[in-house]
Amino acid sequence: MRSLWPRGLVAHVARHPSCAWTLLRAGWPLRASHWWRRAPFLPLPAPGYWEFRMTTYGGAGATISPSAMIEAAEWALRQRVRE
């Protein structure tokens, strides 16, 4: 499985702290079921789901830049339907 952390994401978030909140809000619905039962005990997407998303993003071996991940998270938040 490719890493969920694109190269440079931590440095990008350190320079732009407001991006952390955006990533958390957009990523929370993607967390794997019962994530607290398996190490590393973090609310991360299931490995198969992440593989699928990266394959549809750019094909086999695709990587995503930190800025593209932030843009995708912002887009996902704008698409939410308010009830």
- Report the predicted TM-score, pTM, of the whole model to 2 decimal places: 0.73
**20 vs 26: CA distance, rounded Å:** 10
Q: Which one, of 75, 83, 81, 62, lies nearest residue 26 by Cα?
A: 75
**21 vs 75: CA distance, rounded Å:** 14
User: Which amino acid appears at position 55 of this protein?
Assistant: T
Interval 14-73: pLDDT, tens: 999 999 999 999 989 889 889 899 888 888 888 888 888 888 887 767 778 888 889 989
